[in-house]
Amino acid sequence: MTTMEKVKVLIIGSGPAGYTAAIYTSRANLQPVLYEGIEPGGQLTTTTEVENFPGYPEGISGPEMMADIRRQAERFGAELRSGIITRVDLSSRPFHVVVDGDKEIETESVIISTGASAKYLGLESEARFRGQGVSACATCDGFFYRKKDVAVVGGGDTACEEATYLASLCRKVYLIVRKPFLRASKAMQERVFNTENIEVLFEHNTVEVLGDDMMGVSGALLRKNDGTEHKIDISGFFLAIGHHPNTELFAGQIELDAEGYIKTVPGTSRTNIEGVFAAGDVKDPHYRQAITAAGSGCIAALDCERFLLK
Ligand code: NDP
């Protein structure tokens, strides 16, 4: 049976942006309801050490930090629920939202903080070995490849960071870069070039991830831009080619940019729909930091509070 619930603030997503919005709106007595989605705690739960979030002079693990922020939101009465929003209707206020396909909610405002997800190349063989040697998170899975040979795809800061991290665990790391140069910052590039067991393969693309269903990944077939092909022997194949925003749910209803990020009025969290706010990586292709996401969750909460007071 369908049940209808009425709320003032509905927060969709549970990274630092969503939880911070929950802290602020619950302290403002708006009784927010937050749905945690597919990955409770968001991308930070797949990180190891966070050393640049102010207030943790010794650093803290990503999952621990998210558990702390979550507890802080709960302390002020935010309702944090597990569940996935499966449909939204933002065409008129109050907005209608469906959770897990059947539960209906009517809400006066929405804060979208659904974050972003890692991109994959789209190869069939890559999908086949996902979780069996193919990963988009070196910090989560690198441990399984100690003293083995692995490859990282990408030429940005993430790829360089993941390659140097893996180089500290693995015997050898291939960095597969499609251009003749790295896009990463100079400092990150230097780290890569100064790490003995990283071999950068410029102007290379992956044709196929090789392996079998029993043992997982055993290699990759690469093609150089001059057309020549060769194989490398690896046990792990890591993607670090960027992220895409989790906005599929809102497509056609809310204004997105060419890459699918939610557009907001500069300096605010306001979207093109009054009463709908966006915070964190779902609207930010540039900074993507825990602290910037948390800050933008605060902005969304304050914008939302002002909107509800009107
Ligand atoms: P970027 O978009 O910066 O880089 C993506 C990389 O993947 C590029 O080298 C790109 O190649 C490559 N790529 C994309 N698609 C493919 C494909 N289909 N096949 C092969 N290669 C592909 O993403 P990042 O995640 O590295 O960084 C995102 C943002 O986060 C950046 O602003 C970055 O500076 C920041 N960041 C900062 C860090 C830090 O300061 N410590 C750490 C991590 C990220 P091409 O160059 O040819 O387009």
The catalytic residue among 68, 100, 102, 141 is 141
Let me know if 89 is a catalytic residue.
no
Let me know if 140 is a catalytic residue.
yes
| Ligand 1 binding pocket includes 121 (Cβ within 6 Å) | yes
CA of 253 to the centre of ligand 1 (A): 29
Q: Mean pLDDT score of the chain, rounded to an integer? A: 95
Let me know if 304 is a catalytic residue.
no
Task: State how beta strands 33-35 and 4-12 pair.
Answer: parallel
| Ligand 1 binding pocket includes 244 (Cβ within 6 Å) | no
The catalytic residue among 68, 137, 213, 281 is 137
The catalytic residue among 102, 140, 157, 170 is 140
Q: What is the pLDDT of residue 48?
A: 66
User: Omega of the bond prior to 40 within 30 degrees of 0, cis?
Assistant: no
The pair of three-digit structure tokens given for residue 78, joined into one six-digit string: 């935010």
Structure confidence by residue, pLDDT tens digits, 272-298:
999 999 999 999 988 888 999 999 999
Which residue owns the Cα nearest ligand 1 atom 15?
Answer: 241
- pLDDT at residue 2 greater than cutoff 90: no
Identity of the residue numbered 287: Y
157, 176, 202, 244: residue to mutate for ligand 1 pocket, most atoms within 8 A of CB: 157
List the one residue out of 48, 206, 46, 236 whose CA is nearest residue 135. 236
Structure confidence by residue, pLDDT tens digits, 219-278:
999 999 999 999 999 999 999 999 999 999 999 999 999 999 999 999 999 999 999 999
121, 153, 158, 238: residue to mutate for ligand 1 pocket, most atoms within 8 A of CB: 158
| Ligand 1 binding pocket includes 159 (Cβ within 6 Å) | yes
Go through 17-35 and write b for each residue having 16 or more CB atoms within 10 A of its CB, e for each that does not.
bbbbbbbbbbbbebebbbb
Q: Which residues 6+ apart lie within 8 Å of 24 measured at CB?
A: 297, 298, 301, 302, 305
**pTM of the prediction?**
0.80
Structure confidence by residue, pLDDT tens digits, 96-145:
999 999 999 999 999 999 999 989 999 999 999 988 999 988 877 888 89
